């Protein structure tokens, strides 16, 4: 029969195997961040190219495509490194499902690029296509964050996801603004979208700095240099307040693109720091858990020789105070693990897992906003026979019209679920 | 490079491996139900024995102990069957931690029995000890329910857990009532506890029948036979309304025990049906997922020969309507999987996983009540330096005094978290 101690050790070994998987996942997530960054640049350049009727930006765009391709290969390598052997991989069906979806997007990317090169697609359609691919990649990060069982790592993954999502809003802001300037004419719909992107990116960054370490918050503050922000804010004002139909200076296209890019590149340094912190955290947790395991193994080796004495407190005694951290008992260094009964070890573990579960619930709550939006979108798709993009646009339009946040609209949609008419086709 | 299709297949294989683990877990959970049933009987007989000053029930108790020992061996076998190999077991640290804790309780059981046999411990202390062990076993079921990722199976596990918990309240009612009758004297504290046990078991059963299949609800209704319930309700009234200090007929001890036992045994048939349904569900899900996997494997075999045509809709086209269940396209039986593009398969999978995630969130919400209580208990333990039992008693006492449910008290405790004084020792 396996002993309590053997299950304690199995629990730690299971944690270690899980942490090794999380470490690989963190590497993957970092690679996705880098690819998304490149795709955002590629989108911006594609729009400049389309906006100039193919007269400019062709070379810059081609160079960026080459960079994206290199980073795509890295992401695909990271996908390949994931252990998909069912017997060993734990339950990762959702992560694999998201990856399958993202891979579909990546494999369609060459055709999208041809359509841009030959100017078959409009800027709007191109922005939407890149945005869809980037969302598919971010969904992999979302799944990684949602399925991480370690609260510290999950917290970091959620912070990272929010940062990437915020940066994507900044990227969409850049693309939309570039297209507006290049077209030389203000229009109300694009202006609304710009405002939405500005507000959304600020909210995402806020969630990220709330969850990440103080060092990240400091880095973010430093990345916001006034001499870079000032020209951006001036152009934002021009873009958003020019009367619809009014003329915009097409010559501002490049300064706008450059100002946005400076800001996004500065964000990239924060992103890299977040990715590095995540990797470091996985390493620390792995080392700590390995130490705890070898401690347990030492206890197991010794207790095999010595049966527990009859006078020792057992499961049904209230003697040991569960309110005290058990390591306090083991603090004298000499033979300490022997003095700490296996019962205490088991109780410790139970308390620790309870605490981890509580923390995890708290961290996951910050993912629920996204889940609520997805659920509302699914409801609209089913009830109104909309495509995913249409459902998203509908909700975004509702949010703009009512001057509400997307999450508020999503909650309203879900609250109306029972009364939503099912439209027959 | 692994293709999207290979990740789709990996997702299904991961599901199958996970379902096999869930199937083993379901067997374990069934075995725990049987052991808990035996321990409840053993507790009841132990109290009759103690209440009679050791004059009666010794033989019945000894026979029951032998039965419990056999069922304990079964549970330990089920523990041993769990794959604790870290590389293969997925992340199950919490489950293993709970098992380690339960095993500590089981290994202390012989000493508890000696203490009862030699009448060292009071009935109250004995009830509390058995209740603690049973809670440790139920915590394993809780963890199994909380970590099940399949919404249907999770829903059944939560129903099963609530039924076991409800039956445990019925068992505690039996033990408390037995001790009261045997002592021959009513007391206010025991009467309060009786009322608490009656109310709590009804709430648990309600949650169970809400979540389980209609067949279970019907079975539960049939198990509630009026000719059994009537005498029980009459004795409940006598126990709960006799003025504290007043005399109770010690001769009613056995009729009370028998009436409660008849009811609990009738509950046992519902429990067995729940366990059988759970096993059957695992089997069904396994078969369905295996079929889906072999379908994918067939598609993979064929699509290797035939590259996707340039005209087919790709990731960036809105052509395929995600609002329609994709199996509608594949309904003609002949060559259907070929007509359904891999993109559609990927979108299907994404939608299915999304739906499963939503359902799972809903089911898990019913576990949150228990989590809230545990969290409040942990808070009281930390802030007031209470043991777990003391914290639980404190909250139960608050609930009784304020005529509130335990969950309401727990929420109130958590709401006061910031203002709770930290008492120095």
Paired tokens of A282 = 């996985």
Paired tokens of B327 = 């199996």
> What mean pLDDT do residues A320-324 have?
35
Q: Which residues of A touch B99 (CB under 8 A)?
A: 4, 7
> What mean pLDDT do residues A22-40 have?
93
What secondary structure does DSSP assign to A406-419, as a single string? Answer: HHHHHHHHHHTGGG
What does the radius of gyration of chain A's CA atoms come to, in whole angstroms?
Answer: 26
pLDDT at B175 over 50: yes
Q: How far apart are CA A21 and CA B91, in angstroms?
A: 10
Does one domain contain both B412 and B273?
no
Q: How far apart are CA B97 and CA B103, in angstroms?
A: 10
Backbone angles phi, psi at B185, to 5 degrees: -145, 130
Q: For position B343, what pLDDT does the model report?
A: 74
Non-local (6+) Cβ contacts of A255 within 8 A are A231, A235
pLDDT at B198 over 70: yes
Give the minimum alpha-carbon distance from B19 to chain A in angstroms, rounded to a whole number.
9
The answer to whether the Cα torsion of B199, B204, B210, B212 is positive or negative is negative
Q: Which residues of B touch A371 (CB under 8 A)?
A: 357-358, 361
Query: pLDDT-derived band of residue A419, with 50, 70 and 90 as boundaries?
Result: low
Query: pLDDT-derived band of residue A4, with 50, 70 and 90 as boundaries?
Result: confident
A20 touches chain B (CB under 8 A): no
Q: Which residues of A touch B349 (CB under 8 A)?
A: 97, 100-101
Please tell me which of the candidates A2, A14, A101 has its beta carbon nearest to residue B80.
A2
> What mean pLDDT do residues B405-413 have?
81
Q: Which residues of B touch A385 (CB under 8 A)?
A: 321, 323
pLDDT at B422 over 80: no
Chain B residue with minimum CA distance to A325:
B382
Chain A, residues 356-375, CB within 8 A of chain B, namely 357-358, 361, 371, 374-375
Domain count, chain B: 2
Is residue A394 in a domain?
A: yes
Chain B residue with minimum CA distance to A311:
B111
Lowest mean pLDDT among A24-33, A295-304, B207-216: A295-304
Contacts made by residues A405-410, CB under 8 angstroms, sequence distance 24+: A405/A203, A406/A200, A406/A373, A407/A369, A407/A372, A407/A373, A409/A376, A410/A372, A410/A373, A410/A375, A410/A376, A410/A377
Is residue B374 in a domain?
A: yes
Query: pLDDT-derived band of residue A339, with 50, 70 and 90 as boundaries?
Result: very low
Q: How far apart are CA A271 and CA A314, in angstroms?
A: 50
Q: Which of A72, A95, A96, A326 to mutate to test the interface with B (most CBs of B within 10 A)?
A: A96
Give the minimum alpha-carbon distance from B238 to chain A in angstroms, rounded to a whole number.
32
Q: Over the stretch B25-63, which tens digit does the pLDDT of each residue have? A: 899 999 999 999 999 999 988 988 988 889 988 999 999
CB contact under 8 A, A315 and B132: yes
Measured CA to CA in angstroms, residue B63 lies from A111, A216, B43, B69 at distances of 77, 65, 13, 10
CB contact under 8 A, B361 and A349: no
Q: Bridge-partner residues for A185, per DSSP?
A: A247
Q: Which residues of A touch B344 (CB under 8 A)?
A: none
Query: pLDDT-derived band of residue A324, with 50, 70 and 90 as boundaries?
Result: very low
Given a contact cutoff of 8 angstroms between Cβ atoms, the answer to whether A24 and A81 are in contact is yes
What secondary structure does DSSP assign to A256-277, as a single string? Answer: HHHHHHHHHHHHHHHHHHHHHH
Q: CA angle A314-B169-B129, nearest 5°?
A: 15
Q: Which residues of B touch A350 (CB under 8 A)?
A: 97-98, 101
B379 touches chain A (CB under 8 A): no
Q: How far apart are CA B102 and CA B116, in angstroms?
A: 20
Does one domain contain both B113 and B212?
yes
Average pLDDT, chain B: 83
CB contact under 8 A, A14 and B84: yes
Q: Which residues of B touch A145 (CB under 8 A)?
A: none
A328 touches chain B (CB under 8 A): no
Query: pLDDT-derived band of residue A86, with 50, 70 and 90 as boundaries?
Result: low
Backbone angles phi, psi at B247, to 5 degrees: -80, 140
Non-local (6+) Cβ contacts of B359 within 8 A are B151, B152, B155
Q: Which residues of A touch B129 (CB under 8 A)?
A: 316
Is residue B324 in a domain?
A: no
Q: Which residues of A touch B341 (CB under 8 A)?
A: none
Does one domain contain both B224 and B109?
yes
Predicted TM-score (pTM) of this structure? 0.78
Is residue B192 in a domain?
A: yes
The CATH number assigned to the domain holding A375 equals 1.10.10.10
Q: For position A106, what pLDDT does the model report?
A: 95
Does one domain contain both A143 and A239?
yes
Does one domain contain both A51 and A194?
yes
Does one domain contain both A42 and A138?
yes
Does one domain contain both B170 and B67?
yes
Per the model's pLDDT, the better-predicted residue between B155 and A88 turns out to be B155
pLDDT at B242 over 60: yes
Q: Which residues of A touch B84 (CB under 8 A)?
A: 2, 6-7, 10, 13-14
Q: How far apart are CA A281 and CA B372, in angstroms?
A: 29
Q: Which of A1, A8, A86, A299 to mutate to test the interface with B (most CBs of B within 10 A)?
A: A86
Query: pLDDT-derived band of residue A52, with 50, 70 and 90 as boundaries?
Result: confident
Please tell me which of the candidates B11, B351, B374 has its beta carbon nearest to residue A354.
B374
Give the minimum alpha-carbon distance from B394 to chain A in angstroms, rounded to a whole number.
15
Q: For position B87, what pLDDT does the model report?
A: 57
Q: For position B344, what pLDDT does the model report?
A: 77
Does one domain contain both B71 and B193?
yes
Q: Over the stretch A153-171, which tens digit does the pLDDT of each residue have? A: 888 999 999 999 999 999 9
Residue from B254, B232, B224 nearest B52 by CA: B254
Residue ending a domain, choose from A219, A254, A285: A285
Q: For position B89, what pLDDT does the model report?
A: 53
Q: How far apart are CA A68 and CA A79, in angstroms?
A: 16
Please tell me which of the candidates A76, A351, A353 has its beta carbon nearest to residue B93.
A353
Residue B247 three-state SS = strand
Q: Which residues of A touch B385 (CB under 8 A)?
A: 321, 323
Chain B, residues 388-417, CB within 8 A of chain A, namely 388-389
Cα-based torsion angle of the residue sequence B293, B298, B300, B306 in order, rounded to the nearest 10 degrees: -160
Does one domain contain both A247 and A372?
no
Q: Give the H/E segment covering residue A82.
A: none
Does one domain contain both A251 and A154?
yes
> What mean pLDDT do residues B391-406 have?
80
Is residue A182 in a domain?
A: yes
Strands (E), B21-73: none
Q: For position B322, what pLDDT does the model report?
A: 37
Residue ending a domain, choose from B285, B309, B344: B285
Paired tokens of B247 = 């005399």
Does one domain contain both A116 and A247?
yes
> What mean pLDDT do residues A348-375 have?
77
Non-local (6+) Cβ contacts of B311 within 8 A are none
Please, what's the largest Cα pairwise distance for chain A? 90
Q: Over the stretch A180-236, which tens digit does the pLDDT of each residue have? A: 898 899 999 889 889 988 988 998 999 899 888 899 999 999 888 888 889 999 999
Given a contact cutoff of 8 angstroms between Cβ atoms, the answer to whether B407 and B372 are in contact is yes
Where helices occur in B366-403 by DSSP H, the ranges are 368-384, 388-402
Q: How far apart are CA B291 and CA B161, in angstroms?
A: 30
Q: How far apart are CA A228 and CA A348, in angstroms?
A: 52
Please tell me which of the candidates B17, B129, B133 has its beta carbon nearest to residue A86.
B17
Query: pLDDT-derived band of residue A337, with 50, 70 and 90 as boundaries?
Result: very low
Query: pLDDT-derived band of residue A148, with 50, 70 and 90 as boundaries?
Result: confident
Is residue B316 in a domain?
A: no
Residue A171 domain boundaries: 4-285
Cα-based torsion angle of the residue sequence B321, B327, B329, B333 in order, rounded to the nearest 10 degrees: 170
B17 touches chain A (CB under 8 A): yes
Does one domain contain both A260 and A373?
no
Q: Which residues of B touch A388 (CB under 8 A)?
A: 322
Length of chain B: 425
State the residue for tokens 């030959």: A118
Residue from A100, A151, A393, A94 nearest B358 by CA: A94
Provide, for chain A, the percentages of residues in helix, strand and coil under a 3-state DSSP scheme, each rounded to the nearest 5: 80, 0, 20
Paired tokens of A346 = 């088991």
Given a contact cutoff of 8 angstroms between Cβ atoms, the answer to whether B68 and B38 are in contact is yes
Average pLDDT, chain A: 83
Q: How far apart are CA B84 and CA B88, in angstroms?
A: 8
Q: Over the stretch B288-334, which tens digit does the pLDDT of each residue have? A: 999 989 988 888 887 665 555 555 567 887 643 333 333 223 333 33
Q: Which residues of B touch A315 (CB under 8 A)?
A: 104-105, 107-108, 132-133, 136
A3 touches chain B (CB under 8 A): yes
Q: For position A208, what pLDDT does the model report?
A: 92
A291 touches chain B (CB under 8 A): no
Residue ending a domain, choose from B231, B256, B285: B285
Q: How far apart are CA B160 and CA B166, in angstroms?
A: 10
Q: CA angle B366-B371-B372, nearest 5°?
A: 100
Q: Which residues of A touch B11 (CB under 8 A)?
A: 92-94, 96-97, 100
Given a contact cutoff of 8 angstroms between Cβ atoms, the answer to whether A380 and A372 are in contact is no
Please write down the HEC assignment for all residues of A194-221. Answer: HHHHHHHHHHHHHHHHHHCCHHHHHHHH
Is residue B22 in a domain?
A: yes
Q: How far apart are CA B285 and CA A195, in angstroms?
A: 47
Given a contact cutoff of 8 angstroms between Cβ atoms, the answer to whether B156 and B212 are in contact is yes
State the residue for tokens 């489950």: B95
Interface contacts (A, B; CB < 8 Å): 238
- Report the share of chain A in percent with pLDDT over 90: 39
A10 touches chain B (CB under 8 A): yes
CB contact under 8 A, B92 and A14: yes
CB contact under 8 A, A353 and B97: yes
Q: How many other C-beta atoms are found inside a 10 Å radius of the C-beta of residue A12?
A: 24
CB contact under 8 A, A4 and B314: no
Backbone angles phi, psi at B397, to 5 degrees: -65, -45
Q: For position B336, what pLDDT does the model report?
A: 35
> What mean pLDDT do residues B127-154 have?
88
Strands (E), B139-255: none
Lowest mean pLDDT among A148-152, B245-249, B263-267: A148-152
Is residue B279 in a domain?
A: yes
Q: Which residues of B touch A18 (CB under 8 A)?
A: 90-91, 93
Q: For position B329, what pLDDT does the model report?
A: 30
- Report the share of chain A in percent with pLDDT over 70: 88
Per the model's pLDDT, the better-predicted residue between A217 and A369 turns out to be A217
What secondary structure does DSSP assign to B104-121, as a single string? Answer: HHHHHHHHHHHHHHTT-S
Burial of residue A155 (number of CB atoms within 10 Å: 0-12, 13-18, 19+): buried
Please tell me which of the candidates A7, A87, A108 has its beta carbon nearest to residue B100.
A7
B24 touches chain A (CB under 8 A): no
Chain B residue with minimum CA distance to A150:
B91
pLDDT at A81 over 70: yes
Paired tokens of B311 = 């005209």
């Amino acid at each position: 029969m396996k002993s309590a101690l053997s299950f304690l050790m199995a629990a730690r070994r299971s944690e270690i195997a899980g942490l090794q998987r999380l470490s690989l996942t963190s590497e993957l997530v970092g690679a996705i961040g880098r690819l998304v960054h490149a795709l955002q640049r590629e989108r911006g350049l594609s729009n400049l190219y389309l906006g100039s009727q193919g007269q400019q930006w062709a070379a810059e765009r081609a160079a960026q495509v080459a960079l994206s391709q290199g980073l795509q290969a890295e992401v695909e390598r990271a996908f390949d490194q994931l252990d998909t052997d069912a017997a060993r991989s734990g339950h990762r069906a959702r992560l694999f499902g998201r990856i399958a979806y993202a891979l579909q997007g990546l494999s369609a990317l060459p055709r999208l690029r041809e359509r841009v090169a030959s100017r078959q697609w409009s800027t709007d359609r191109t922005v939407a296509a890149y945005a869809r691919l980037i969302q598919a990649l971010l969904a992999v990060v979302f799944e990684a964050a949602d399925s991480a069982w370690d609260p510290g790592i999950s917290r970091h993954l959620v912070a990272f996801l929010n940062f990437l999502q915020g940066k994507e809003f900044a990227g969409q802001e850049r693309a939309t603004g570039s297209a507006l300037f290049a077209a030389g004419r203000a229009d109300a719909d694009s202006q609304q979208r710009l405002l939405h992107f500005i507000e959304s990116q600020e909210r995402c960054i806020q969630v990220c700095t709330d969850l990440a370490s103080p060092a990240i918050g400091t880095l973010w503050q430093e990345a916001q240099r006034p001499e870079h922000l000032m020209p951006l804010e001036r152009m934002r004002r021009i873009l958003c307040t020019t009367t619809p139909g009014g003329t915009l200076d097409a010559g501002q296209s490049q300064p706008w693109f450059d100002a946005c890019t400076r800001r996004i590149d500065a964000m990239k340094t924060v992103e890299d720091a977040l990715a590095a912190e995540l990797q470091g955290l996985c390493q620390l947790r792995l080392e700590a858990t390995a130490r705890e395991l070898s401690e347990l193994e030492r206890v197991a080796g010794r207790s095999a020789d010595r049966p527990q004495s009859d006078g020792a407190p057992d499961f049904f005694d209230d003697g040991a105070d569960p309110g005290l951290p058990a390591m306090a008992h083991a603090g004298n260094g000499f033979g300490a693990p022997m003095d700490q009964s296996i019962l205490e070890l088991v109780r410790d573990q139970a308390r620790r897992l309870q605490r981890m579960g509580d923390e995890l619930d708290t961290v996951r709550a910050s993912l629920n906003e996204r889940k609520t939006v997805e659920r509302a979108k699914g409801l609209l798709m089913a009830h109104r026979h909309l495509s995913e993009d249409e459902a998203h646009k509908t909700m975004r339009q509702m949010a703009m019209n009512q001057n509400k946040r997307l999450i508020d609209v999503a909650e309203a949609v879900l609250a109306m679920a029972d009364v939503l008419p099912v439209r027959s086709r």
